[in-house]
Structure 1
């Protein structure tokens, strides 16, 4: 099986999608979602207690998905819950389980989640976590001690094409690449020109960029994202289309964005269906 890393290296357009782990000791719910999306994607992202809400371990779930369904996984890892000893231990365990793609995140503060009195760690941020993964790849721990066997993680990071200060965002990514980042998955876009501008600004990074897409379900959802989520810009033509249409219109818009990303030679698209996993097949079906 050609890995996500190899596909990115070969400039093969890739599709990924994001699923939340269950608040359960059973992976059944997520497994059912994986069965639905597997025919259409190159890899599945598994979130790490998103919005600081306690969920199943993304490493354990990623291992289950890969072994049972032969679908490559990208596990999220945050700096919220672990110090540098714990982060290294998690990474070594993940690699031993065959889970080799990581998306590095600082993480949401516990105060916004379902255990608001829990203590956040944040000994390092996402750039520090990238450096930890790169160091393990080199065969050493963070104290310079040799590992019995090195890891070989494909290290991902995030970016925001809609950042108010794009130059600052690119400088931040330059620091992340220096720390060891190897690919990028972005926040949602709804304007292909925004993606083109970001690709132009980031061209010297020479990192594969998978642009995020959140399928719109309604005009209400579009209005909320446009007005309340920093970095998200929804063009007037999209807003007008969503005002007249609904979920089907949102699916069509997402499908056109995926096609346009292919045409501008982006590395891929990252579909974030917000629990509407059927949308993945509806968007990507024509792309396979």
Structure 2
């Protein structure tokens, strides 16, 4: 068994170790090298990398295949995203069984963006189940049964994840949805970006009785324009005027400092952080004080 499997994300969270994960976007093409170089840059500084599933409904390499290559060639554990947009329940089960055979056991269950948002707007979304239904499928496969209750020739061992939103307008509704995800079999969540210690503490208090690991999202702000856009246009993101003012005045450097300060404040009370680099891995480098220079990738 590989090292990343013995001391993987599940084991680290179970043992109470603070974990760091970073989201990477698969390439549009058959060459995985640009992403492998990014993964190699992060090796030793993160506990896992998330591989998105055609994010924003734009065509990308299979997250399961890429997650397998990263684990096999880079020795870094991967969390693959799987959406309900492109596959019916037969296809979803087939993908999961294939992932299990490849040793990719961490999954983030997502409903998925509508095809109309992406580069194939005429494609048809499937959505036979939603993210909760997908979590139930993964849980049932872990129990050695397919969705119809028929036995498999061997159970899977998925560590099942989902998305969560501490900044939701209606936290009662959000909490109820999270409870349904836990009941469906979810073991951990990675949240939307947070920018405020009070928001983190409030969410921890609301979820303290739930048997789930929570990894909080961190998104480094590049400038005031970005901060305003996120605050006004992206549901579930709340950025204070104080932080917006700091980033407006100090730009990228201030955004990195805000992120660093938040990480230091929450590090002792949360189980981990999930960094959204938004296409700029140097932001991750500065947040985590990685001394090496980010390689040029194509």
TM range (shorter): over 0.9
Give the one of 276, 279, 286 matched to 1:282. 286
Q: How many residues align?
A: 285
Task: Show structure 1 runs of 4+ deviating over 3 A.
Answer: none
The aligned counterpart of 1:138 is 143
C-alpha displacement of 1:236: 1.6
Counterpart contact for 2:182–2:211, Cα < 8 Å: no
In 1, Cα distance between equivalents of 2:151 and 2:130: 24
Residues 52-131 of structure 1: pairs in structure 2 closer than 5 A: 52-131=57-136
Give 1:34's aligned residue.
39
Match of 2:273 among 269, 273, 282: 269
Contact (CA 8 Å) 1:162, 1:232: kept in 2 or not? yes
Q: Which runs of 5+ in 2 are unaligned?
A: 291-298
Task: State the 1:206 CA deviation.
Answer: 2.6
Cα distance in 1 for residues equivalent to 2:288 and 2:17 = 15
Q: Give the distance between the partners of 2:278 and 2:211, measured in 1 at CA.
A: 30
Aligned equivalents of 1:119, 1:276: Cα separation in 2: 31
Question: What is the rounded CA distance, in whole Å, between the counterparts of 1:83 and 1:261 in structure 2?
Answer: 39
Partner of 2:23: 18
Q: CA deviation at 1:30?
A: 0.7
Shift of 1:76: 0.1
Alpha-carbon offset, residue 33 of structure 1: 1.1
Kept in 2: contact 1:216–1:251 (CA 8 A): yes
**For residue 198 of structure 2, what is the aligned residue in structure 1?**
193
Alpha-carbon deviation of 1:216? 0.5
Note the aligned Cα RMSD (angstroms).
Answer: 0.9
- Alpha-carbon distance, 1:31 to partner: 1.0
Alpha-carbon distance between aligned partners in 2 of 1:85 and 1:231, rounded to the nearest angstrom: 33
Separation (CA, whole Å) in 2 of partners of 1:36 and 1:56: 20
CA contact (8 A) 1:36 1:278 kept: no
Structure 2 partner of 1:259: 264
Structure 1: distance between partners of 2:93 and 2:135: 11
- 1:174 counterpart residue number: 179
1:244 aligns with 2:249: yes
- SS state at 1:114 partner: coil
TM-score, length of structure 1 as denominator length: 0.97
1: CA distance, partners of 2:264 / 2:212: 20
Partner of 2:45, secondary structure, is coil
Shift of 1:36: 1.7
Deviations 1:131-152 (CA, angstroms, capped at 9, x unpaired): 0000000000001111001001
- Cα shift at 1:281: 2.2
Moved more, 44-53 or 270-279: 270-279
Displacement of 1:284 = 1.7
CA contact (8 A) 1:140 1:147 kept: yes
- Paired with 1:69 and 1:248, the residues of 2 have a C-alpha distance of 31
| Secondary structure in 1 matching 2:267 | helix
Contact 2:88 2:127 in 1 (8 A): yes
2:224 pairs with 1:219: yes
CA–CA distance in 1 between the matches of 2:183 and 2:98? Answer: 25
3-state DSSP of counterpart to 1:245: helix
User: SS in structure 1 opposite 2:216?
Assistant: strand
Write the deviation string for residues 163-217 of structure 1: whole angstroms up to 9, x where unpaired: 1111111111101100100001000111111011000001111311000011101
